[in-house]
Structure 1
Amino acid sequence: MKLIELGSDDKKFRTIKFKENGLNLILGKRNSEDSKSTYNGVGKSLALYLVQFCLGTKANKKITNKIPNVNFYLKFRIDGINYTAKRNTTKQSVITLNDETLKLLDFNSKMLSLLFEVPEELSKISFRSLISRFLRTRKEEYNDFDSFVVKEQEDRSLLSNSFLLGLDAIKVQRKFEFKEEFTKIDKLRKVLQKDEIFNSVFGIEGEISLKINELEKKISILEDDLSSFKVAENYKDIQEETKKLSFEIKQHVNIISINKELLSNIEQSIKINPISNKNEVIEFIKRVEIELNINIQDRINQVNEFHESIIKQRTSRFENEKKKLADEILLHEKLVGELEKKYNQNLKYINEHGGLEDFTSINLKLNDFKFNLDRIKKSSELIANYKKRGDEIKLFLAQDNLSTTTYLENISNTLIKEITDNFSELVKIFYINKFGGISIENNSGDNKLRYSIEARIQDDSSDGINEVKIFCFDLLLLTMKKNHKVKFLFHDSRLFSDMDTHQRFPALKLANKLGEQGFQYIASLNQDTYEMLEKEQDESDFKSIIKDNIIIELSSDNDESRLLGVHIDLEY
C-alpha cells in the first residue's frame, strides 16, 4: 500500500500529492514578518490525522463541529489496484471505498483482508491497530518505541507488534484469552459466593451436601402432605361454625356450673334447723310462767304451730327450686352433649381437610424450598465447573509457557537473529560506537503478555536517542515486510523536533534511500528543523535530500497557505 493523494471536495483545501517512492516532506513555515508567529496550526499534523480519518479511525465530534459536512478523500494503491476512500465529517459512520459505501466496521474488515495476511484463528487483531504502526499520530504515541495507539491495552499492542515482527502471534492471543477467561471465571465465582442463599452454606466443609439433604427431606414431606391434602370448599364456614360451637359449649358449661353451685347452696339451706334446741325453749317458757305467774303455754303452742308451718313451706320451696335447678342442669348437660358431638365432628373434618389458603401456603413453601435447592445445586455445580475450568486454564498456560520457551529457542538463530540484526544495522547508521538490538523473551509472569520485547540502544536514556529508537523500530516493521503489504511510513514533525540534531539528516537520508526498495516515507518538518538542516549540510546534499523532496509548504502567512485554507483550532 502506497499513498497517492489526500484531498477534499472543499476547494479551499490544499491537496497533497505524494511521490510514489522515497522521501515526502510536508514543511510547516511561520510568518516571516511576524516574529511571534508559529507553524502550529498550519496543518502539518492535521494531514497525518486526515489520512487516519480516511482509513477508518473512530468518529470525532470535534471535527463535525468545526468543519461540518466536508468530504475528505485518500487515494492509495494496493497490489497495483488504485483505491479511493472518502469520508464525510458529519456522516462519519460510513466510508465510501471506490463508490461502495461501507459501515466503519465493514471498511476496517475489508482493509484488514486487503493489507494484512491474518490467519483465521487470529481473531483479536484489528486493522486499526495494525495500520497505526505506520501512522503515529498523537503526541503520546512518540513516547515509547512500542506504543502506537493512545490507551491501547498492552496485550493488544503486543499482539500487533508480534504479528508485524513475524512472531507467533497466536501464542500472544491465546495467553491473554486464557487470562481473560480465568479472570471472568474468578469474578463469576465470587458473584455466586455472594449469593444470599448460597453464601450461607458455601465454604463450610460438608455444609453444602447437608443443606441439600435437609432441603430434599423437607420437599419430600411437603410433597406427601400435598398428595394427601383434601381441599374443603366450605372449610371456612365449618371453621367459623366450630368456633361458634366452642363458644356455645362454654356458655352452657358456665350455666351448669352456676346452677350446680346454687343447688349445693339450697341443699345446705335445707339441712339448717330454724329451732336449734326445742327442750331449751320449753324450759325457758316454764321459768317465765313461774316468775311472772302467768300461763303462756297456749300462746307458745300457737307460735310453735306457726313456725312449723313456715318450716314446711320453706322446705317445700327449696325442694321445688332444687328440682327446677336439677332439671335445668340436665337440660344444659344434654345441650352440651349435642354441641360437643357436632364440635368433635367438625374438628375431625377440619383435621382431615384443609382450606385453599392452607393448600396455597404449603405449595408456596414447597416452591420456596425447591427454588433454594435448585439455586444451591446450580451454584455448587457452577463453582465446581469454574474450578475445573480454572485448573484446565492453569494447565494450558503452563503447557503454553513451556512450548513458548521451546519456540523461542527454535527461532533464536533465525527469525530473532534476523530481527535483531536488522535493527542493529539501522542503529549503526546513527551511532557507530553504540550497540543496538532487540531482545525477545518468554513472559512467564502472571499477566496477559506472552512475550517481553525490548528494543535497546546503548545509553538510550540520553536526550534524543529515544526518537532514533522509535524511528528504527518503525522502519524495522516496515522493511521486514512480515505479514503485511504496507509500503509507506508517516511520521509527525515532533519526532524530528526532539531528535538529536546530528541524527536528523541521517534519518531523512535513510528514509529517502528507502525509495530504492520501493518504500515511501512521509514526514512533516518544522521550519526551525529545516533551517538547522540547511546550516549543517552542504548545499548539494541538502537540496537532493531535503529541498527537492518537499511536496507541500504550509504556513501561517495567510489562511490560503494553511492546509484547510482557513484558520481553525482543531483537536483530534
Structure 2
Amino acid sequence: MLRRLSADDPRFRTVDFRPGLNLLVAETRPGAAKTDSRNGTGKSSLVELLHFTLGSRPLKGSLPTRPGIRNTLFTLWMDWPGQDDGIGVSRRGAQPGIVLTDLAGADDGGLFAFRHAREMPLPEWTAWIESDLFRLPPDHPGVSGRALLSLLVRRVGSHAFNDPVRTYPQQSAAEAAANLAYLLGLDWRLASGYRDLAAREATRKQLRSAMNDPTWNQVVGTTADLRGKIIVAEGDVERLRREVAEFRVVPAYEELQRRADELDQKVRSLPEQDVIDRRNLADLRRAVDEANDPDTAYVDAVYRELGVTLPDRVHQSFEDVRGFHASIVRNRRRYLADEITETEARIAERERERARLGAQLTETLTALREGGALDGLTALQQLLAQKQAALEALRKQHETAQFVEASQREITAKRVELQEAVELDLEERGEQTREATWLFSQFARRLYGQDRDAYLTIRAGTSSLEITAHVDSRDSVGINKMVIFCLDLTAAVIAHRHGRGPDFLVHDSHLFDGVDDRQVTEALALASEVAAEEGLQYVVTFNSDKLQRARLGGFDPSPYLIEPRLNDTFDDGGLFGFRF
C-alpha cells in the first residue's frame, strides 16, 4: 500500500495514506464565487507525482520538469514485498533518469536492522516494479510494469478515462488487451501474439505501398532479380576465397618488383644497341671491299704512247709509291677486320645477355605472379569482406522481397491459428473468465441495480483479444466512466488475490465527471467495502461539493478523509503550497 508522498520543499503539503478508502478532497474557500475553479489545487498532480515516483518517463513540459519544481525531490513511501518497513523512492524532474531508494538492510541477527539509501538508474527501478509488484517473469513481451500501473493509476493527462481497456488513445488494442489479460489471469502471451501479427501486417502494408514507388526495384528489387544477383555474388565470393587461400606472401616483393623493372629495361635496350652495331658492321664490310691495291701500270702505257721513255730511276720511285700504298691498304684491311670481329662479338654477347636476362625476368615474373606482398593479401582480404557484406545485403533484400511478395494468406492463416489457440485457452481458463465476469457484474449491478444486465465479453477477435464491458442502462450519462470504475476495481481485486499486482488502486476525480450523484454515492460505498474485504487501498480525489452530494445520498465520507485538505486559496491552498 501507499504510505506517504512528500517533498524536500517545506511548502509541499505531505499526503499521508491509510489502508482502505482514501479521499483527498479539494474544498472551496469561504467567499469563493461560483465561477472559481479548483482545477489548480493539485488533485491530478497527486496522480502525476505517484506515476513519477513509480517510474514514468516525464515528457518535456510535464509536471515534474516544470521550472518551479524541477529541482524538488519527491519521495513516495510504500509497502514492498520482503520489506517489513517498506521502501522509499525519490526522484526529481531535473534528473529523471536517477532513482533514490531507501530500504531496510538484511537482518544479521543483531539487535538492530539497518537502512541504506541506494542510487539506481530508472530502468533498474522499473525492473523492480515488474518483478516485485507484478511478479512478471524476466521475459514478458507485450506486457510491462508501466502499462500495468497505467491501468491501476489512470491519468487524465493521458486521456485514460476515454476507454475502459486503453490507457492512452494511441495504445494498440492488442497491447492494451494483453496487459489487462495479465491482471485478470488470462494467457497474456497469446494475447500479445496479436501485437506481433499487427506489427507484421503494418510492416507488410508499408512495404507493399513502397513497392508502388518506381525506385523500389532500385532499392530492393524482385525475388527473381535478386536470386540472379545472389548467384553471381556467391561466385565472386568463392573465387576470392580461393585466391586468399592460395595466396603466397613474398617477403621481398617490392625488391623483386624493382628487379623485374630493371631487367625489363635492360632487355628493351639491347635491340637498340644491336641496330647500331649491325649498321656499323655493314659499313665496315663495305669499306673492306673498297680497300684495293693502287694500279700504276697505266702510267707507263701513257708515256709510251707519247713516245716518252721513263728512266729507271722514275720506275723505282713508282715502285716505292706502289709499295707504300699497298702497305696502307693492308693496314686498313687489318683494322677493318678487327672492327668487324669486335662488332660481331658485341652482337653475339648481347644475344647471350638477352637470353640470360630473359631467363631472369621470367623467373622474377613467375615469383611475382605466384605470390605477392602482405599489402596485397590485406587488400584481397578487404575485397573479400566487401563482397561478403554485399552478398549478405543481397540476401537481406531477398528476404524482404520474399516477405513483401508473400501472400496475405500466410498472415491470415496465422491469425486464424492464433484465434483458435486463444479460444481454446479461454475455454480452459473458464474459472478465470467466470471470476472476472462475475465480479464486474456484481460491481456494476451495485451501481445500476440488480435488474440490469452487466457482464464482460472475453473472446478471440481478429486483431486482438477482445475484452468488452457491457452495462445495460437506460440512463447513459456517465455510464462509460462507471464501466471504467467497475473494470478497474475488478482487475485490481483479481490481480491482488492471485499475487499478480499491488494492493492499491488510484482514481482521479475526473472519473466521476458527468456521473449521477446516486452512482457516485454507490461507487464510494462499494469501493470502501471492497477495499476492506480484499485488503486493498483505494485512493480517489474529489471536489467537496460532489462529496457533499454523496453525503446527502447516504454515504458518510468522514472516516475516509485524508490530509491535507486542498482548497483554491491562491497562495498555499494547493498540494504544492505555492503557485508556479
TM above 0.5: yes
Note if 1:476 corresponds to 2:490.
yes
Note if 1:416 corresponds to 2:433.
yes
Distance 1:78 1:242 in 2: 88
Q: Rate the CA distance shift 1:365–1:437 in 2: closer, same or farther, 3 A.
A: same
CA shift digits 1:430-479 (9 cap, x unpaired): 5568654433222555xxx5x23333456999763332222221122123
Q: Give the unaligned 5+ runs of structure 1.
A: 185-193, 272-277, 279-296, 303-311
CA contact (8 A) 1:39 1:527 kept: no
1:349 corresponds to: 360
> What is the SS of the residue equivalent to 2:19?
coil
1:492 Cα deviation (Å)?
1.0
> What is the SS of the residue equivalent to 2:179?
helix
Q: Rate the CA distance shift 1:118–1:245 in 2: closer, same or farther, 3 A.
A: closer
> What is the SS of the residue equivalent to 1:343?
helix
2:372 corresponds to: 359
> What is the SS of the residue equivalent to 2:71?
coil
CA shift digits 1:250-275 (9 cap, x unpaired): 3422223433564687699899xxxx
> What is the SS of the residue equivalent to 1:148?
coil
CA contact (8 A) 2:5 2:77 kept: yes
CA shift digits 1:184-233 (9 cap, x unpaired): 9xxxxxxxxx9x9x999996557656654565466557766739x79689
Note if 1:148 corresponds to 2:182.
no
Q: Rate the CA distance shift 1:36–1:561 in 2: closer, same or farther, 3 A.
A: same
CA contact (8 A) 2:53 2:74 kept: no
Note if 1:426 corresponds to 2:426.
no
Distance 1:515 1:61 in 2: 30
Of 504, 529, 541, which residue of structure 2 is paired with 1:524?
A: 541
Distance 1:566 1:37 in 2: 17
CA shift digits 1:411-438 (9 cap, x unpaired): 3x54324333433443344556865443
Bigger drift between 113-122 and 486-495 goes to 113-122
1:494 corresponds to: 510
Q: Rate the CA distance shift 1:330–1:255 in 2: closer, same or farther, 3 A.
A: farther
2:152 corresponds to: 134
1:134 Cα deviation (Å)?
1.7
Distance 1:322 1:158 in 2: 120
Of 453, 462, 465, which residue of structure 1 is paired with 2:479?
A: 465
2:248 corresponds to: 226
Note if 1:163 corresponds to 2:169.
no
CA contact (8 A) 2:240 2:384 kept: no
CA contact (8 A) 1:54 1:87 kept: yes
Distance 1:199 1:328 in 2: 78
Note if 1:454 corresponds to 2:468.
yes
Q: Percent identity?
A: 20
Distance 1:324 1:260 in 2: 13
CA contact (8 A) 2:135 2:499 kept: yes
Q: Give the unaligned 5+ runs of structure 2.
A: 105-114, 204-215, 293-297, 299-304, 311-322
1:365 Cα deviation (Å)?
6.3
Output the TM-score relative to the length of structure 2: 0.68
CA contact (8 A) 1:4 1:19 kept: yes
Q: Rate the CA distance shift 1:299–1:70 in 2: closer, same or farther, 3 A.
A: farther
1:123 Cα deviation (Å)?
7.2
Distance 1:330 1:179 in 2: 99
Q: Rate the CA distance shift 1:40–1:365 in 2: closer, same or farther, 3 A.
A: closer
Q: In structure 1, what residue type is equivalent to 2:533?
A: Q
Say how many residue pairs are matched.
519
Q: Rate the CA distance shift 1:374–1:119 in 2: closer, same or farther, 3 A.
A: closer
Q: In structure 2, what residue type is equivalent to 1:452?
A: E
1:341 Cα deviation (Å)?
1.5
Map 1:132-281 → 2, pairs under 5 A: 132-140=150-158, 141-148=160-167, 156-172=175-191, 205=227, 208=230, 212=234, 216=238, 220=242, 226=248, 235=256, 238-239=259-260, 241-243=262-264, 245-246=266-267, 248-259=269-280, 262=283
Map 1:37-52 → 2, pairs under 5 A: 37-52=36-51
Distance 1:464 1:429 in 2: 15
CA contact (8 A) 2:288 2:336 kept: no
Distance 1:34 1:16 in 2: 27
CA contact (8 A) 2:267 2:357 kept: no
1:164 Cα deviation (Å)?
0.6
Q: In structure 2, what residue type is equivalent to 1:405?
A: E
Distance 1:321 1:397 in 2: 113
Bigger drift between 252-261 and 147-156 goes to 147-156
Distance 1:161 1:301 in 2: 156
Distance 2:136 2:513 in 1: 36
How large is the RMSD of aligned CA atoms in angstroms?
Answer: 5.6
Distance 1:478 1:7 in 2: 25
Distance 2:341 2:514 in 1: 122
2:207 corresponds to: none
CA contact (8 A) 1:6 1:74 kept: yes
Bigger drift between 368-377 and 167-176 goes to 368-377
1:32 corresponds to: 31
1:495 Cα deviation (Å)?
1.6
> What is the SS of the residue equivalent to 2:163?
coil
1:408 Cα deviation (Å)?
2.0
1:36 Cα deviation (Å)?
5.5
Flag the structure with more relative contact order, 1 or 2, with Cα contacts below 8 A and sequence separation at least 6: 1
Q: Rate the CA distance shift 1:499–1:351 in 2: closer, same or farther, 3 A.
A: farther
CA shift digits 1:352-405 (9 cap, x unpaired): 23577962176356535754676688789999999999x9x9999886654333
Output the TM-score relative to the length of structure 1: 0.69
Bigger drift between 13-22 and 71-80 goes to 71-80
> What is the SS of the residue equivalent to 1:561?
coil
Q: Rate the CA distance shift 1:207–1:528 in 2: closer, same or farther, 3 A.
A: same
CA contact (8 A) 1:514 1:521 kept: no
2:460 corresponds to: 442
CA contact (8 A) 1:25 1:550 kept: yes
1:96 Cα deviation (Å)?
1.6
Bigger drift between 13-22 and 164-173 goes to 13-22
Note if 1:405 corresponds to 2:423.
yes
Distance 1:554 1:387 in 2: 62
CA contact (8 A) 1:5 1:18 kept: yes
1:180 Cα deviation (Å)?
8.1
CA contact (8 A) 1:27 1:525 kept: yes
Q: Rate the CA distance shift 1:68–1:239 in 2: closer, same or farther, 3 A.
A: closer
Larger radius of gyration: 1
Map 1:267-416 → 2, pairs under 5 A: 298=306, 328-354=339-365, 359-360=372-373, 363-364=377-378, 367=381, 371=385, 402-411=420-429, 413-416=430-433
CA contact (8 A) 2:156 2:510 kept: no
2:103 corresponds to: 97
Q: Rate the CA distance shift 1:244–1:170 in 2: closer, same or farther, 3 A.
A: closer
